[in-house]
Amino acid sequence: MSNPTAAMLVIGDEILSGRTRDGNTHYLAGELTRHGITLAEARVVPDAQPRIVAALNDLRSAHDHVFTSGGIGPTHDDITADAIAAAFGVTIGIRADAAALLQAHYDRSGLPFNEARQRMARIPDGATLIENPVSIAPGFTIGNVHVMAGVPNIFQAMVASVLPTLTGGAPLLSQSLRVNRGEGEIAGPFGALAAEYPDLSMGSYPFQLNGAHGTNLVIRGTDAAQISAAMTRLAALFPAQ
């Protein structure tokens, strides 16, 4: 009945130091919601194998799918593929099909397929490749874990490759009502309405504009007719003022 769940694992010191702001989680959240998969949790861990392995094993046993971003490039701090292999207890090495893709790419570019670049063909045993139309170096899927690049346009292209292969549930739908009242004014009747619709999720998000308080009220669920009915009730509770 309920939708499959997923987790996001962001891997990278640069996120935790504040150098880089992660945008991949927000992107994935929107894509999964449209596809009927519930993003149930997200984590950020540093480039440290024991931390990656522990988080990955937690998440892959708790959720139907895990998506990772970051750490699959050619440099010494790109340790994701080895950490994933360790988490699954499988060996890892340069794989012929991945190496062939990269060799052809660098031949076209007139660049040497050197030792560093060959690191990007290291794939855990038993994985399948995820296409990278942007810069060729593939991601991979092993078990229920989808390992993808951290660079946003490559991450997004890999999500586009993987998502159609996953069975989704009913897409999560939402309707919003913007009211020119603070949360403290609407909370009572809004909470009472939410209690009448246990299958819907209702949330309130306050904002300030020109010194005045307002609130966006959001109704989420998978049944469009039920959301519309609840929204009609909500709009009647808080007419424009």
Q: Which is nearer to its own copies, 5 or 90 (CB)?
A: 5
How far, in Å, are 19, 136, 194, 218 from residue 119 at the CA level? 25, 13, 52, 46
- β-strands 173-179, 212-221 pairing: antiparallel
Q: Which is nearer to its own copies, 47 or 230 (CB)?
A: 47
Beta bridge partners of 110: none
Q: How far is the CB of 235 from its own copies (least distance, A)?
A: 17
Q: Which is nearer to its own copies, 16 or 235 (CB)?
A: 16
Residue type, position 239, single letter: P
Q: How far is the CB of 167 from its own copies (least distance, A)?
A: 20
Residue type, position 105, single letter: H
Residue type, position 193, single letter: L
Q: Which is nearer to its own copies, 90 or 182 (CB)?
A: 182
Q: What is the DSSP letter of 3?
A: P
Q: How far is the CB of 232 from its own copies (least distance, A)?
A: 20
DSSP codes, 157-205? HHHHHHGGGSPP-SPPEEEEEEESS-HHHHHHHHHHHHHH-TTSEEEEE
Distance CA 63, CA 167 (A): 14
Q: How far is the CB of 126 from its own copies (least distance, A)?
A: 26
Q: Which is nearer to its own copies, 22 or 127 (CB)?
A: 22
Three-class SS state of 149? coil
Q: Which is nearer to its own copies, 141 or 215 (CB)?
A: 215
For 45, the token pair is: 């861990």
Q: How far is the CB of 48 from its own copies (least distance, A)?
A: 9
Q: How far is the CB of 184 from its own copies (least distance, A)?
A: 4
Q: Which is nearer to its own copies, 90 or 162 (CB)?
A: 162
- β-strands 212-221, 201-209 pairing: antiparallel
Alpha carbon dihedral 170, 69, 63, 141, in 10-degree steps, equals: 90
- Continuous H helices in the chain: 13-16, 24-35, 49-62, 80-88, 96-109, 115-118, 152-162, 183-196, 224-237
Q: How far is the CB of 22 from its own copies (least distance, A)?
A: 7
Residue ranges binding its own copies (CB under 8 A): 13-23, 25-33, 38-47, 51, 73-77, 106, 111, 114-117, 119-120, 151, 172, 174, 182-188, 190-191, 194-195, 201-206, 218, 220
